Amino acid sequence: MTFLPYSRPVLDEEEIAEVVDTLRSGWLTTGPKVAQFEKDFTEFIGCKHALAVNSATSGLHLALEALGVGEGDKVITTVHTFTASAEVIRYLGGEPLFADIDPDTFCIDPEHVRRLLEEHSGVKCIIPVHYGGQAADMTALLALAKEFDVRVVEDAAHALPCTHNGRMVGTMSDVTVFSFYANKTITTGEGGMVVTDDEAIAKRVKTMRLHGINRDVFDRFTSKSPSWHYEVVAPGYKYNMMDMCGALGIHQLKKAHKFQQQRKYIAECYEKGFAGLPVETPGIVNPEDFHAWHIYALRLNLDELTISRDTFIEKLSEKGVGTSVHYIPLHRMPYWRDTYGLKDETYPQSTAVFNRIISLPNFASMTDDDINFVINAVREVATAHAK
């Protein structure tokens, strides 16, 4: 039996050749390939600074650190995300406040954010997540940030490329962080990018990603002043990106738009293919905007089906279709639930959505046969178990 995985990275000969070139060059850690990748990234986004790191998690940590988030500071994020969006707040001793989501986009609900801002003093920052690659309501969130004088760090792990009313994600707020984890829209294996237009933030992130040293290793070995000399100005981290990863990033970035078009095509095929089934296809806010389509989350209409979401997933797996669920919300995770006393009732939208979502395969190298394989499997399971 053939099995179609949920996700598969798309790597071509040029990525392989670039990594081999890096291996032969004798320079493995942060160096010329990372510098090239960063330069290309600023042009791709249209931002001033792009700083490569070894993961988006590291990038989010550095972003909050650069904004001065510390002990007891409150930071608002969504429950409907990967734990990384919230754990970075705890790294710095901050206190997360969680908001529910918009039921159509699964992005943070600005009205809930407003209530949290009104109820709590000492909020320093908001971390919206562009769920699945569709931008959160940045117009509303940036207005709230201004009204309440808080900063915004975008978790753009899904959002390359992505726009909000024509504006590129990465150009709107204080800091934006992208992920190049193996299953993300482009990949460097592990990796991330911190993007900002703010000189001071960029400088701090650059220093803190490498031990708090105010001069990076590549600088030290290529500039005229003595290579042994450096200064430690803060207790930094070890979050720099390796050149082997930068080598992958250079070529992946060139294909980011092509990959997006392919994922969009898959979403369009699914939209047509699932017509008439007891399911809801993803809601689209502005069809003019770029949707990165990192996740294709199908919603089951459970009251029209005789089986649960979990059984639906089992049946798809029996038919050879790999799936996932994004996400088991944070208020259902023992650490977050128990530490912060989070309850299902506080997050009705996320709770309801969680019970009915399935993420379907939608990686850029899927063929028409693969797409039809998924459509047929979903159609068969839904039809066989319709009420």
Ligand X SMILES: *Cc1c(COP(=O)(O)O)cnc(C)c1O
Return the active site residues: 184
Give CA 242 to chain center in angstroms. 20
DSSP string of 344-386? GGG-HHHHHHHTTEEEEP--TT--HHHHHHHHHHHHHHHHHTB
- Cα distance from N-terminal residue to C-terminal residue, the chain: 29
Supply the minimum distance, in Å, between the C-beta of residue 53 and ligand X.
9
Q: Please, which residue, 110 or 192, has the CB nearer to ligand X? A: 192
Interaction of residue 252 with ligand X, rule CB under 6 A: no
Edge to edge, the sheet with strand 95-99 lists 49-53, 192-196, 175-179, 151-155, 123-127, 74-78, 95-99
Residues 306-325 that bind ligand X (CB under 6 A): none
Q: Please, which residue, 85 or 371, has the CB nearer to ligand X? A: 85
**The pair of three-digit structure tokens given for residue 276, joined into one six-digit string:** 């008439």
Interaction of residue 155 with ligand X, rule CB under 6 A: yes
| Phi, psi values for residue 129, rounded to 5° | -120, 130
Q: Please, which residue, 82 or 274, has the CB nearer to ligand X? A: 82
Supply the minimum distance, in Å, between the C-beta of residue 101 and ligand X.
13
Interaction of residue 359 with ligand X, rule CB under 6 A: no
Residues 16-55 that bind ligand X (CB under 6 A): 55
Q: Please, which residue, 85 or 323, has the CB nearer to ligand X? A: 85
Distance between CA atoms of residues 80 and 202, nearest Å:
28
Candidate residues 4, 52, 56, 186; the one interacting with ligand X per rule CB under 6 A:
56
**The pair of three-digit structure tokens given for residue 237, joined into one six-digit string:** 């981290």
With H, G, I as helix, E, B as strand and everything else as coil, classify residue 308.
coil
DSSP string of 76-91? EEESSS-THHHHHHHH
Q: Of 5-13, 68-76, 151-159, 344-352, which part binds ligand X (CB under 6 A)?
A: 151-159
Contact assessment for residue 152 and residue 128, using Cβ atoms and an 8 Å cutoff: yes
Residues 162-201 that bind ligand X (CB under 6 A): 179, 181, 192
Q: How many residues bind ligand X (CB under 6 A)?
A: 14
Supply the minimum distance, in Å, between the C-beta of residue 1 and ligand X.
30
Supply the minimum distance, in Å, between the C-beta of residue 194 and ligand X.
11
Supply the minimum distance, in Å, between the C-beta of residue 119 and ligand X.
25
Supply the minimum distance, in Å, between the C-beta of residue 317 and ligand X.
22
What are the distances in angstroms from CA 204 to CA 38, 246, 362?
16, 21, 37
**The pair of three-digit structure tokens given for residue 380, joined into one six-digit string:** 């068969």
Calculated CA dihedral for residues 47, 50, 55, 59, nearest 10 degrees: -80
Candidate residues 44, 82, 98, 347; the one interacting with ligand X per rule CB under 6 A:
82
CA angle 343, 107, 179 (to 5 degrees): 110
Candidate residues 30, 77, 78, 81; the one interacting with ligand X per rule CB under 6 A:
81
Q: Of 24-32, 135-143, 150-158, 261-269, which part binds ligand X (CB under 6 A)?
A: 150-158
Residues 120-139 that bind ligand X (CB under 6 A): 129
Q: Please, which residue, 55 or 359, has the CB nearer to ligand X? A: 55
Q: Please, which residue, 181 or 373, has the CB nearer to ligand X? A: 181
Sorted by sequence, the CB contacts under 8 Å of residue 272 that are 6+ apart come out as: none
| Phi, psi values for residue 149, rounded to 5° | 55, 55
Interaction of residue 105 with ligand X, rule CB under 6 A: no
Q: Of 68-76, 79-87, 249-257, 334-342, which part binds ligand X (CB under 6 A)?
A: 79-87
Give CA 283 to chain center in angstroms. 18
Distance between CA atoms of residues 3 and 198, nearest Å:
46
Supply the minimum distance, in Å, between the C-beta of residue 109 and ligand X.
16
Question: Computed from CA positions of residues 185, 188, 190, 191, in that sequence, does the dihedral angle turn out positive or negative?
Answer: negative
Distance between CA atoms of residues 337 and 331, nearest Å:
5
Supply the minimum distance, in Å, between the C-beta of residue 319 and ligand X.
27
* Per-residue x/- track, 263-292, ligand X (CB under 6 A): ------------------------------
Distance between CA atoms of residues 205 and 173, nearest Å:
16
Question: Applying CB under 6 A, which residues contact ligand X?
Answer: 55-57, 81-82, 84-85, 129, 155, 157-158, 179, 181, 192
